[in-house]
């Protein structure tokens, strides 16, 4: 500090500082952007701002007078900062108000693609797979083009057996056939693995039928469980579990004696009609789903025939097992109330779009 | 198999209250599923058997007559449309439909005046009663018919016919007797086979004896022949015709109807030859090479060596078990027949009938196995019935050749085996009772076994498991408890997992899944050309639409798009996931075809959304789908190389790409692009289409574990870079140029624009705008550092002579 300068007038200095706040408030009242306000703030409070200019005199004051001036400087600073904050808040409020004035027509459609859809036959396959995965079954698949041995002979259906008429088969070049059921997957699995076996095998199968209730290709789901001491009661319990999960709790299962070459005993599987809860009556009339019988057919099942075990090298004395099969188109028709089997194969996106 | 409930009641002692519905229910639950019940004769009501008292001509119409009759009440006079001469004399029986009666077709009778005479109802003809297509004149009933009874009931028209679905293992159930045996077991009552009629027995006339020789016992284990002489062909009695009709068999003449009737009753097919048209003895043998025969339907057929023929001295007169021959057929002039009751090798019958397309009631039974032990009864029953209905006599004792004796089978049922398979306990004493009810006798064999004797009519019961099923079905499957299997399998991934992941991704991208036929028209594959043209052919397709296995999912998707366009749905996004069938090379046909799994998608029309309603889909829409599906399948950085360099028949040469996993030259995992316009023309789709195909097997399918990296802690700086470059230089090549600077802080390069506006871009060039992102992991970069790095990248880019940087 140079000693030649005169000590400033304290009162005048305080007065100047106190006036700065007022001047600042006037100045920013006309400013409309945050940037201008910040620039103005810098002109007052920056290193070379007006408050700093005035405070240069502080060093020349006698020490006992400095606190009063410092106080005034702080007052001015606080007042200016307060004015900035207030002004910025007001500007922000105005922006907000302007923003809030916008109106969108919320009834206009959404942008972009809708979710696509899985095919209803995929949906039921997955649902059924999920049910059996929960029981410890694994999912296996097999080829469409099969050998007659895997499709028939190994399943206790030798050539010229009348049971071959139950499935009118497609033959392809190379001496093979299109599998007429998913049962060859049983054979493939047992040939490659020792018991115990617990599998479900979904897949398309092929038969020479083409009318309102048959398509030449259709999806089936096969199930096979082989272990020590497996009985008909296990089959019944497994199917009951499935029906409860798929169609609804408390519905019964009925096994009716039937015939498949690869099972003995064999059964047709009926589930209690979920629409009429097995009563056969719906709204006082004969139930349209089960035609009043109270039951809907869902597939075939039985205990694995010893000849099937022999064909794959299992010892029928040591293990037993059950197998079941069901048509997934029928399951999907029941589940989604589809009346026309053909709908699954007509690729009509207006139909398919429902399965979201 | 159609089962007449009236007939069943004759064979089986059922309580009066037992209904057809209740029998149907029990049969169904015992494994003989009754698919439907036809209620016959319900539309014929109130028609009565009446006795003719007198007949006189109509006073004013000579073609009409007036019949005075009585049907238990007062006499009435009915005008009849037949002349008096054709009507029975007094005491004859006729069918009278009085006022109030209804006839098939809904006709209701009333009192009306006919040419001045009041007629209460009418006399009915067979046609009017719904008994046949022809039949002139009114129905005349046998004189012993009781008067005043309901006609429908009297002749068996009022009946319920059970359509029983007999599974192929149960030849024993292909007859009324077989079903009666089952029903009797289910109702714990008795049943019986009607005994043969007592008929005239005549000595065999000189020279009429016929010898039978079975030359191949494997073809024919038993052959019985009887001769019936003095016959007269005529119509069968009404009740018999009604019964055949109920079972779906057309009545022809008494001589033929009897064979059908006895077959429906006993399950044994029978055949009647016209005796006078046979020459010499009969031989049962396999057909000779080049042998031919004219079957009943008049067709001359070439035979094969495995066919079983019945031959006389001149040659084949019948195809054993399949069809008779035209030359030995009974006719209206037949007076003597040779009645055949035999059993043939089921396989041979099946092969022959299948090859010739001759499936008959007889072949259906022989294929499944006709009981040799029942032949004597069937032969005797039919012969006696023929003699009775044809007014003839049994001549001689008949011949019965039985070279291969059939024996009942011994099968053991153990308590352990029964309980283990059933999963619950059935006492052996109860099992024995149930088996006895269906003709399977048994005796205890030690404490815990039954030694069962299975009769020959149950060829399906050969092992213990078969007996278990018999016992269980008679006890009732509903007796079995339900429980979940013990133990548990090992949870495992589904082999379909990649396929299902692809499905989920494609659906999430807005596409709809379709399922198309595995077989396609050959023309579709021809349109694809190249390797895809040759598919595995179906040898017996239902139609030309299903003649060869698909080799690609593309044609099916295009077909689906076409169908939707035809339904006026213009914007289509579809996908399919499934196997395609790839034929092996010609020298490797012993191996099965391969069935790789593919996922494919097709876009047609406009991009979804309403803001730019006319924006058509293009390559980059399908590429987005490709990128996301591959990402879902674990391929994060697929490389797209122009397919134009390796021409694909499927894609537009300038707008298609091969997709490689990882690096260029890595495994080919698919292709994506605009469908080749020529292919679309061939497949008949009149709109641009964009196609993606992913080879799921090439992708692998192991979902890679995610190894996460912490997000960057220091900020990035970006610089835009705009330049002209030759149109041939692809974005990947530009990227490679910029990356050649090896700037460690250059972290990302993204294309913002590729513009080719002819007004602003120099010829042969395109304008590119990239944005480059710089970042260091351990500190915030200074502007100077970024500028310096960017300058080096620009310099690297400029090393390509075609580049001109724009500011
Ligand atoms: Zn119902």
CATH number for the domain harbouring residue B11: 3.30.56.10
Residue of B nearest to A257 (CA): B31
> Is the pLDDT at B645 greater than 60, yes or no?
no
Confidence at residue B489, expressed as pLDDT on a 0 to 100 scale: 59
What is the per-residue pLDDT across A318-333, written as a single tens digit (0 to 9) for each?
A: 999 999 999 999 999 9
Q: Tell me: pLDDT of B326 over 70.
A: yes
Structure tokens that stand for A276 in this block:
């009429």
Instruction: Report the pLDDT value the prediction gives residue B84, as an integer from 0 to 100.
Output: 78
pLDDT of residue A3: 46
B183 near B27, Cβ under 8 Å?
Answer: yes
Is residue A72 one of the residues assigned to a domain? yes
DSSP character string of B671-686: EEEEEPHHHHHHHT--
Residues B243 and B330 in one domain: yes
* Confidence category of residue A213, pLDDT binned at 50, 70, 90: confident
Question: Is residue B263 located within the same domain as residue B394?
Answer: yes
pLDDT of residue A73: 85
Judgement on whether residues A208 and A265 belong to the same structural domain of the protein:
yes
pLDDT band at B106 (very low <50, low <70, confident <90, very high): confident
Which of B306, B482, B503, B696 to mutate: most A Cβ within 10 Å? B482
CB B591 within 8 A of CB B579: no
Phi first, then psi, for residue B290 (nearest 5°) are 80, 0
Contact present, B652 and B677 (Cβ < 8 Å)? yes
Give yes or no for residue A1 having a pLDDT over 60.
Answer: no
Note whether A163 and A268 are same-domain residues. Answer: yes
Q: Which residue has the higher pLDDT, A31 or A183?
A: A183
| B170 and B149, same domain (yes or no) | no
Q: How far is the CA of A216 from the centre of ligand 1 (A)?
A: 28
- CB of B592 within 8 A of CB of A143? yes
User: Rounded CA gap, B711 and B219, in Å?
Assistant: 84
Q: Quick one: pLDDT band at residue A2, thresholds 50, 70, 90?
A: very low
B469 vs A136: CB contact, 8 Å cut-off? no
* Predicted confidence (pLDDT) per residue in B568-580, tens digit: 999 999 999 999 9
Higher pLDDT, A193 or B486: A193
**Nearest residue of chain B to residue A306 (CA atoms):** B465
* Separation between Cα atoms, residue B517 and residue A217, nearest integer Å: 7
| pLDDT tens track for B432-478 | 999 999 999 999 999 899 999 999 999 999 999 999 999 999 999 99
Q: Is the peptide bond before A112 cis (omega within 30 degrees of 0)?
A: no
DSSP notation for B499-544: HHHHHHHHHHTT-EE----SEE-HHHHHHH-GGGG--PBBSS-SSG
Say what the pLDDT of residue B61 is. 79
User: Which residues partner with B103 through β-bridges?
Assistant: B107
Give percent of chain B above pLDDT 90.
66
Of B496, B539, B572, the CB nearest to A173: B539
State how far the Cα of A50 lies from the Cα of A31, in Å rounded to an integer.
19
Contact present, B480 and A232 (Cβ < 8 Å)? yes
Is A107 within the bounds of a domain? Answer: no
pLDDT, residue B647, reads 57
- Return the H-helix or E-strand segment holding A297: strand A295-304
Cα–Cα dist A123/B574, whole Å: 16
**Quick one: pLDDT at residue B703?**
64
Q: How far is B332 from chain A (nearest CA, A)?
A: 36
Gap between the Cα atoms of A229 and A318, Å rounded: 8
The answer on A233 and A178 residing in a single domain is yes
Other residues' Cβ atoms within 10 Å of the Cβ of residue A133: 17
The residue-averaged pLDDT of B332-359 equals 93
Work out whether the CA dihedral B558, B563, B566, B572 comes out positive or negative: negative
In a domain, residue A31? The reply is: yes
B320 lies in the same domain as B369: yes
Residue B204 has pLDDT above 80, yes or no: no
- Give the number of beta-carbon pairs within 8 Å between A and B: 263
Percent of chain A with pLDDT over 70: 98
What pLDDT does residue B613 have? 65
Establish if A3 belongs to a structural domain.
Answer: no
Instruction: Please tell me the total count of domains within chain A.
Output: 2
> Would you call B489 and A136 a contact, using CB atoms and an 8 Å cutoff?
yes
Task: Please report the pLDDT score of residue B501 as a whole number.
Answer: 92
Q: How far apart are CA B407 and CA B484, in angstroms?
A: 42
- Do A192 and A270 lie in a common domain? yes
Res B619: pLDDT: 94
Same domain, B432 and B518: no
The top-scoring range by mean pLDDT among A142-151, B291-300, B387-396 is A142-151
CA–centroid distance, A272 to ligand 1, in Å, is: 8
Segment among A262-266, B187-191, B483-487, B770-774 with least mean pLDDT: B483-487
Residue B39 CB coordination number (10 Å): 12
The answer, yes or no, to whether residue B664 has pLDDT greater than 60, is yes
The answer on pLDDT for B217 being more than 60 is yes
What residue in A sits closest to B606 (Cα-Cα)? A113
- Kindly state whether residues A253 and A339 are assigned to the same domain: yes
- Domain, as residue range, for B792: 717-806
Mutation target for B interface from A120, A156, A158, A172: give the one with most B CBs within 10 A. A172
Comparing B56-70, B145-159, B777-791, which segment has the lowest mean pLDDT?
B56-70
| B702 — pLDDT class (breaks 50, 70, 90) | low
Note whether B478 and A309 are within 8 A (CB).
no
Q: Is B693 a member of any domain?
A: yes
What pLDDT was estimated at residue B495? 62
- Write down which residue in A66, A101, A136 finishes a domain: A101
From the DSSP assignment, how many helices (H) and strands (E) are in chain A?
11, 12
CA B492 – CA A286 distance, rounded (Å): 44
pLDDT above 80: residue B133: no
Predicted confidence (pLDDT) per residue in A158-183, tens digit: 887 777 777 789 999 988 999 999 99
- How distant is the alpha carbon of residue A314 from its chain centre? 41
The per-residue pLDDT for B241 is 92
Tokens of B308: 């079983």
Cβ neighbourhood burial of A105 (10 Å; 0-12, 13-18, 19+)? exposed
**Last residue of one domain, picked from the residues B644, B671, B699:** B699
Strands B409-414 and B270-274: unpaired
Please report the ipTM that was assigned to this predicted complex.
0.87
Give the domain CATH number at A286.
Answer: 3.30.930.10
In this predicted structure, what is the pLDDT of residue B555?
97
Q: What is the pLDDT of residue B135?
A: 61
CATH code, B601: 3.30.930.10
Where is average pLDDT lowest: B277-281, B688-692, B747-751, B792-796? B277-281
Q: In chain B, how many domains are there?
A: 6
Together in a domain, A249 and A317: yes
- For the stretch A139-149, pLDDT in tens is 999 999 999 99
pLDDT of residue B134: 62
Give residues whose Cβ lies within 5 Å of ion ligand 1: A 273, 275-276, 287, 289-290
- Residues of chain A with C-beta less than 8 angstroms from the C-beta of B350: 160, 162
Note whether residue B196 is domain-resident: no
Domain ranges, residue A184: 120-355
**Residue at A113 is within a domain:** no
């Amino acid at each position: 500090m140079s000693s030649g300068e005169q000590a400033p007038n304290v009162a005048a200095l305080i007065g100047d500082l106190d006036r700065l706040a007022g001047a600042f408030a006037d100045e920013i009242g006309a400013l409309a952007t945050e940037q201008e306000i910040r620039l103005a703030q810098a002109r007052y409070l920056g290193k070379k701002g007006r408050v700093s200019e005035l405070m240069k005199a502080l060093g020349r004051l006698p020490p006992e007078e400095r606190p009063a001036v410092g106080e005034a400087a702080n007052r001015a600073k606080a007042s200016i900062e307060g004015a900035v904050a207030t002004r910025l808040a007001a500007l922000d409020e105005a922006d907000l108000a302007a923003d809030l004035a916008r109106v969108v027509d919320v009834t206009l459609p959404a942008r972009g693609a809708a979710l696509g859809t899985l095919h209803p036959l995929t949906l039921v396959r997955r649902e059924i797979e999920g049910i059996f995965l929960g029981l410890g079954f694994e999912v296996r698949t097999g080829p469409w083009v099969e050998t007659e041995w895997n499709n028939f002979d190994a399943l206790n259906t030798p050539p010229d057996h009348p049971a071959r008429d139950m499935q009118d088969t497609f033959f392809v070049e190379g001496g093979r056939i299109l599998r007429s059921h998913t049962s060859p997957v049983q054979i493939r699995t047992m040939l490659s693995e020792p018991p115990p076996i617990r599998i479900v095998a979904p897949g398309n199968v092929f038969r020479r039928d083409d009318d309102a209730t048959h398509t030449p290709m259709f999806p089936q789901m096969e199930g096979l469980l082989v272990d020590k001491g497996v009985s008909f009661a296990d089959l019944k319990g497994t199917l009951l579990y499935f029906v409860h999960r798929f169609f609804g709790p408390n519905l019964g299962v009925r096994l009716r004696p039937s015939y498949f070459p690869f099972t003995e005993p064999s059964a047709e599987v009926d589930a209690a009609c979920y629409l009429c809860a097995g009563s056969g009556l719906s709204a006082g009339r004969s139930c349209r789903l089960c035609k009043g019988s109270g039951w809907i057919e869902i597939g075939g099942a039985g205990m694995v025939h010893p000849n099937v075990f022999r064909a794959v090298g299992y010892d029928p004395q040591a293990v037993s097992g059950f197998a079941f099969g069901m048509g997934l188109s029928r399951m999907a028709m029941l589940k989604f109330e589809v009346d026309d089997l053909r709908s699954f194969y007509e690729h009509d996106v207006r139909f398919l779009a429902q399965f979201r | 198999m159609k089962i007449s409930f009236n007939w069943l009641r004759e064979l089986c002692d059922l309580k009066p209250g037992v209904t057809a519905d209740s029998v149907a229910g029990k049969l169904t639950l015992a494994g003989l599923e009754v698919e439907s019940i036809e209620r016959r004769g319900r539309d014929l009501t109130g028609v009565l058997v009446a006795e003719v008292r007198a007949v006189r001509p109509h006073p004013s119409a000579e073609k009409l007559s007036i019949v005075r009759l009585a049907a238990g009440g007062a006499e009435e006079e009915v005008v009849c449309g037949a002349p008096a001469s054709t009507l029975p004399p007094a005491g004859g029986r006729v069918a009278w439909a009085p006022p109030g009666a209804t006839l098939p077709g809904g006709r209701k009778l009333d009192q009306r005046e006919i040419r001045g005479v009041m007629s209460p109802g009418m006399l009915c003809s067979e046609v009017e009663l719904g008994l046949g297509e022809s039949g002139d004149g009114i129905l005349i009933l046998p004189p012993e018919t009781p008067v005043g009874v309901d006609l429908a009931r009297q002749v068996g028209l009022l009946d319920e016919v059970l359509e029983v679905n007999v599974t192929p293992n149960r030849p024993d159930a292909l007859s009324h007797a077989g079903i009666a045996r089952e029903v009797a077991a289910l109702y714990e009552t008795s049943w019986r086979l009607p005994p043969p009629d007592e008929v005239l027995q005549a000595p065999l006339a000189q020279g009429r004896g016929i010898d039978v020789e079975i030359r191949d016992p494997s073809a024919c284990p038993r052959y019985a022949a009887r001769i019936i002489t003095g016959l007269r062909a005529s119509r069968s009695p009404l009740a018999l015709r009604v019964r055949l009709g109920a079972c779906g068999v057309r009545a022809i003449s008494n001589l033929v109807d009897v064979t059908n009737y006895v077959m429906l009753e006993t399950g044994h097919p029978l055949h009647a030859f016209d005796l006078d048209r046979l020459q010499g003895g009969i031989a049962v043998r396999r057909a000779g090479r080049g042998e031919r025969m004219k079957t009943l339907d008049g067709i001359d057929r070439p035979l094969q060596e495995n066919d079983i023929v019945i031959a006389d001295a001149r040659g084949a007169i019948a195809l054993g078990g399949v069809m008779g021959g035209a030359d030995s057929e009974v006719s209206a002039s037949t007076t003597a027949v040779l009645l055949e009751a035999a059993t043939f090798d089921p396989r041979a019958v099946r092969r022959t009938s299948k090859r010739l397309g001759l499936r008959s009631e007889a072949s259906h039974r022989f294929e499944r196995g006709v009981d040799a032990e029942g032949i004597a009864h069937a032969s005797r029953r039919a012969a006696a019935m023929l003699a009775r209905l044809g007014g003839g006599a049994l001549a001689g004792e008949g011949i019965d050749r039985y070279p291969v004796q059939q024996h009942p089978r011994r099968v053991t049922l153990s308590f352990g085996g029964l309980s283990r398979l059933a999963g619950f306990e059935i006492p052996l004493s109860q099992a024995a009772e149930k088996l006895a009810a269906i003709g399977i006798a048994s005796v205890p064999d030690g404490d815990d076994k039954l030694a069962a004797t299975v009769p020959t009519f149950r060829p399906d019961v050969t092992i213990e498991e078969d007996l278990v099923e018999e016992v269980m079905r008679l006890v009732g499957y509903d007796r079995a408890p339900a429980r979940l299997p013990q133990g548990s399998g090992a949870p495992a991934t589904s082999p379909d997992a990649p396929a299902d992941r692809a499905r989920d991704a494609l659906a999430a991208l807005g596409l709809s899944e379709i399922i198309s036929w595995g077989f396609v028209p050959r023309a579709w594959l021809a349109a694809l050309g190249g390797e895809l043209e040759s598919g595995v052919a179906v040898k017996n397709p239902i139609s030309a639409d299903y003649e060869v296995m698909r080799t690609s999912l593309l044609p099916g998707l295009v077909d689906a798009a076409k169908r939707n366009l035809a339904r006026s749905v213009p914007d289509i996004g579809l996908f399919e996931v499934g196997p395609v069938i790839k034929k092996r090379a010609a020298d490797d046909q012993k191996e099965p075809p391969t069935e790789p799994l593919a996922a494919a998608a097709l876009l047609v029309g406009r991009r979804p959304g309403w803001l730019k309603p006319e924006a058509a889909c293009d390559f980059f829409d399908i590429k987005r789908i490709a990128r996301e599906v591959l990402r879902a399948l674990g391929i994060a950085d697929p490389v797209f190389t122009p397919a134009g360099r390796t021409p694909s028949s499927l894609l537009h040469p300038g707008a298609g790409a091969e997709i490689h996993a990882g690096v260029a030259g890595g495994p080919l995992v698919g292709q994506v692009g605009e469908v080749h316009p020529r292919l679309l023309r061939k497949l008949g789709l009149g709109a641009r289409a964009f196609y993606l195909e992913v080879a799921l097997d090439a992708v692998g399918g192991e979902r890679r574990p995610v190894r996460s990296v912490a997000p960057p802690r220091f900020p990035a700086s970006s610089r835009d870079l705009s330049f002209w470059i030759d149109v041939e230089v692809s974005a990947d090549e530009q990227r490679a140029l910029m990356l050649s600077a090896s700037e460690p802080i250059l972290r990302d390069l993204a294309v913002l624009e590729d513009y080719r506006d002819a007004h602003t871009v120099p010829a042969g060039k395109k304008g590119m705008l990239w944005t480059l992102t710089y970042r260091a992991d351990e500190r915030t970069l200074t502007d100077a550092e970024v500028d310096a790095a960017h300058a080096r990248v620009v310099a690297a880019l400029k090393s390509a002579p075609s580049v001109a940087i724009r500011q």
